[in-house]
Structure 1
Amino acid sequence: MLFNRRREGEVSQMPLSAYISSNQSDAHPDISMALTDLENKLCQYFKRVEIRGKRGRKVPVLLTPSMQESISLLLENRNTCGIPNENPFLFARPYAMTFFRGSDCIREFAVACSAKNPQTLTSTKLRKQIGTLSEVLNLSNTELDQLADFLGHDIRVHRQFYRLPEGTLQLAKISKILLALEKGRLADFKGRNLNEINIDPEEEVTVDSDLEESTSSPKGNDYIMSVSIYVCLNNGTSDAHFPELD
């Protein structure tokens, strides 16, 4: 549940037959050629199990090698633990035909591990977390469809309810455009998306209004008047150098 961000009911009711019938077959050679070395390695690392999700649709569960070892240990000791042979569930309860509820398990372990906010460790909130934070990755529409399909979401629901909070989105993303406009640097980021714009809000730039203010200040006027008097007294020919005017 934690790793796959699955609904607790889906994992709790995982049939034993679904796990046994799943296999870690090699990908088709043509598909392997289209994947990177890391992606091919991940295909060999995980085991994929298909279970029934919401509204009867099939949803996948990815199992790491350590998860597979733990499940194998459970299967080896089903009879020892008193699980009836007729119990069809992978996470079966001893001497019963029912299954362990994932929500109860997460609630118990969230408290046992001394989490600061154990009430936030629920399957619903964990699913919302991955849906919301996926916005930070700036996924393409195709990649977003794949993530929504994995989570068992309708893509329209995913886009409507699993977005970054509007305030955070504006502070983190839209403010970059405003800063670039304010500092006169928008042209520097031509052809880039919001993730590629890096601009420091504390960066100091010299704008025309600052120059006008310095030349129109009393000190600036006094200096210009002094230069004019000096030039006049020397008949307009002076070798004096005024670095402030450079």
Structure 2
Amino acid sequence: MLSAHRPHMLPLLSSLSSLVAHLRRQQHSSFVSLSRSPQAAEAWRLLCHSSLALLILYNRRRECEVSKLTIQEYQNRATPQPHPPGAAPTLTPLEASLSPFERQVLCHLPRAGVLGKRGRVQPLILPPHSEPCLELLLQTRPGVGVDPQNPYLFARPYHSPATPLRGADLLRSLARASGTKNPQALTQTRVRRQVAILTQLLLLGEGEGEGAGQGAGQGSSAAQRLEGFLQKEYHVTQSCARIGQDPGLMGRVGRVVLCGERDGVLFRGMSLHHICLELDVMSGNSADSLTDDSDAEQRKVPEKGPAGRRGRGKTQPPRRRRTSAPPAPASSVNPSPAPAPRRRSAQPKSGKRGVLKRPWSEAERAAVEFHLSGNIADLRVPAKADCERCLHLCPLLVTNRRDWRAIKFYCHNRIQLLKKRERREGGASGLGLSVC
């Protein structure tokens, strides 16, 4: 088991942080080169690629929608104004499409509207430090071979048709070039929401208060808004001042935001550590991954049949060929009715009621064996008071609807397994002595 003081980075967060760091370095170096020589086509291309990739990762929109951001849509972007304290905020249609996390925590970033599916306008949040880069791209695009009639912001130089860059291909190539361990996991459609939440947490507080002279206080206000959001939405009191230096805390906050937005789960009075253990129990996933909804989507995919094709979930038996029934005898004028089929009883044959068995997760087992380690070591079944004390000390068991009887039976089964092992080992050692 990992120590609480040892930072543990999730696999998806590790790959994403490497990619984001690579894109930020490329964006900074190309911005400096293009500022010094506005005619440098290679610097313009690198700046355009890194800016588009960061914009795709920062938002939950499809790659094609982000790539088709026009110059007019970018120039019509809106910067949210702070609401007076105590007054009810009035949400515009663009802000209403954002998630509560994006509205409350990322309230200082400008938003642009892009055309999405079925003609709907989708919000697009501009990442920190992106506006100076996009302004430089607009100023220097005539000198690098971009078609003047191209309406898209992320255009392709030396291409006469008015076509934008292909965001999916660009992100795939940049993920491979960044040296991440699992680049294909960052470009999957089912993890788009997780990638956006983690990218927003990675860049939390950057670019806030630019020009206001806040300096070192940039990250503190963003962390305070994150703490207020967790307290308001999920009743979780957690200090997020060092979230940029604690990848374990960042991963837990990302999981809570993801599952809270998807399922509306309320974690009243629980810490982030216990919440993630509870999410493992609910989803059946390990704590080392952040793809909670990916497994649910995989279950919807039908299994492949024996011929390798994706067919129905259950293999249908071959149809029986119809055979002509023999003619009824002429003497049978009033045939006897066919016997009615026997109905199966709703209860099993043993007479016991059907009980839905829920397997114990690793988190639940660890909690019970930690609090009742003395009883299990002494091969002594705990009493009711001991089981209730275990429930009081571990809220994870209470939220998963475990009662004192379930804990007692778990300890009983564990003790019986240990006794069997002792008898088996004792018999094997006795057999070895007799042979000698």
1:109 to 174, 185, 188: 174
Residue in structure 2 matched with residue 171 of structure 1 by the alignment: 361
Give 5+ residue unaligned stretches, structure 1.
Answer: 33-38, 145-160, 196-205, 211-246
2:107 to 43, 51, 62: 43
- Deviation per CA, 1:153-173, whole angstroms, max 9, x where unpaired? xxxxxxxx963747xx97367
1:78 to 141, 153, 178: 141
Question: Does structure 1 conserve the Cα–Cα contact (< 8 Å) formed by 2:69 and 2:153?
Answer: yes
Change (3 A) 1:173 1:71: farther
Residue in structure 2 matched with residue 129 of structure 1 by the alignment: 194
Deviation at 1:84? 2.2
Deviation at 1:20? 0.5
Deviation at 1:27? 3.5
> Which has the higher relative contact order, 1 or 2, with Cα contacts under 8 A spaced 6 or more apart?
1
Change (3 A) 1:103 1:71: same
- Deviation per CA, 1:187-228, whole angstroms, max 9, x where unpaired? 445799749xxxxxxxxxx99xx9xxxxxxxxxxxxxxxxxx
- Which runs of structure 2 are paired with 1:9-88 in the superposition (5 Å)? 9-29=64-84, 30-31=87-88, 42-44=106-108, 46-88=109-151
Residue in structure 1 matched with residue 317 of structure 2 by the alignment: none
Question: Does structure 1 conserve the Cα–Cα contact (< 8 Å) formed by 2:191 and 2:294?
Answer: no
Question: Does structure 1 conserve the Cα–Cα contact (< 8 Å) formed by 2:69 and 2:152?
Answer: yes
Matching of residue 186 in structure 1 with residue 391 in structure 2: yes
Aligned residues, how many?
Answer: 176
Question: Does structure 2 conserve the Cα–Cα contact (< 8 Å) formed by 1:111 and 1:118?
Answer: yes
Change (3 A) 1:2 1:189: same
The structure having more radius of gyration, on CA atoms, is 1
SS in 2 for 1:49: strand
Name the CA distance, whole Å, in 1 between partners of 2:391 and 2:61: 42
Question: Does structure 2 conserve the Cα–Cα contact (< 8 Å) formed by 1:18 and 1:50?
Answer: yes
Residue in structure 1 matched with residue 350 of structure 2 by the alignment: none
TM-score by length of 1: 0.54
SS in 2 for 1:163: helix
Deviation at 1:176? 7.9
Name the CA distance, whole Å, in 2 between partners of 1:64 and 1:100: 19
Cα RMSD for the two superposed structures: 4.4
SS in 2 for 1:99: coil
TM-score by length of 2: 0.33
Question: Does structure 2 conserve the Cα–Cα contact (< 8 Å) formed by 1:8 and 1:102?
Answer: yes
Give 5+ residue unaligned stretches, structure 2.
Answer: 1-55, 90-102, 198-250, 266-290, 297-358, 373-381, 401-410, 416-436
Residue in structure 2 matched with residue 6 of structure 1 by the alignment: 61
